[in-house]
Amino acid sequence: MKADQVIRDCIFCKNELKDALETNNSQKIRVNWITCLTLLRMVGHVLEKVDKKNYPSSQIVFSSLWNEKKVDDVFLNFIEKERNEAIKEYKFSFKEDNFQVETDNEFLFQNGNSFLSQSGERMVFMDKKRAIHFASKTKQITIVEEERLDLWVENAIEWWTDYLKELKFRLNESQNP
């Protein structure tokens, strides 16, 4: 399926995002974040506009799975929401803040380079004076590895991969009852 190619491109871009995060290159982080989000959303469009046409007798399989999965949290609150905010508003769920870490904030928990401030703001240190502030991702009390941008993308890739496995299984079942 053509959607598989989009996922492979997204995996490539996720690795580029991870490299950008490791080198603290904010422009590369933004560009790769937008590209990942766009590719993640593109998977669904390619399924609908390209792959579905290759299975004319199985249109209902595509539609029924989509109707089941389009309400999943990963799709609604990450793939769709983040892509729309980035593409339509150039708005991100993270922002870079410049501040003196040593004097301006006290941190409660540490996990690698991740911190949670007393006010509940999640941070990832860039260097001694800068941190990425995960502004909209502060609802949980504890820090988890999944707060890294590349891992958000990884989770969404896994969601699409599972989606495609289920779709292929159902297509096979419908063609070979």
In the chain, the number of structural domains is 1
Task: Identify whether the C-beta of residue 164 lies closer than 8 Å to the C-beta of residue 7.
Answer: yes
Q: Is the pLDDT of residue 94 over 80?
A: no
Q: Which ranges constitute the DSSP H helices of the chain?
A: 2-23, 26-49, 59-69, 73-74, 81-89, 101-104, 149-175
User: How many whole angstroms separate alpha carbon 142 and alpha carbon 139?
Assistant: 9
pLDDT in tens, 25-66: 788 888 999 999 999 999 999 999 999 999 999 999 999 999
Measured at the alpha carbon of residue 143, what is the angle toward residues 94 and 102, in degrees to the nearest 5?
70
Q: In this predicted structure, what is the pLDDT of residue 156?
A: 94
pLDDT in tens, 112-130: 444 545 455 555 544 444 4
Q: Is the pLDDT of residue 110 over 90?
A: no
User: How many whole angstroms separate alpha carbon 44 and alpha carbon 48?
Assistant: 6
Say what percent of the chain tops pLDDT 70. 69
Q: Is the pLDDT of residue 152 over 80?
A: yes
Task: Identify whether the C-beta of residue 174 lies closer than 8 Å to the C-beta of residue 61.
Answer: yes
User: How many whole angstroms separate alpha carbon 148 and alpha carbon 21?
Assistant: 9
The domain of 36 spans: 2-175
Q: In this predicted structure, what is the pLDDT of residue 137?
A: 37
How would residue 151 be classed by pLDDT, with cut points 50, 70 and 90? confident
User: How many whole angstroms separate alpha carbon 167 and alpha carbon 173?
Assistant: 10
From 16-20, 89-93, 97-101, 135-139, the region with the lowest mean pLDDT:
97-101
Q: Mean per-residue pLDDT for 132-143?
A: 37
Nearest to 131 by CA among 151, 110, 146, 155: 110
Q: Which ranges constitute the DSSP H helices of 50-80?
A: 59-69, 73-74
What average pLDDT is seen over the chain?
Answer: 77
Q: 133 by DSSP, 3-state: which?
A: strand
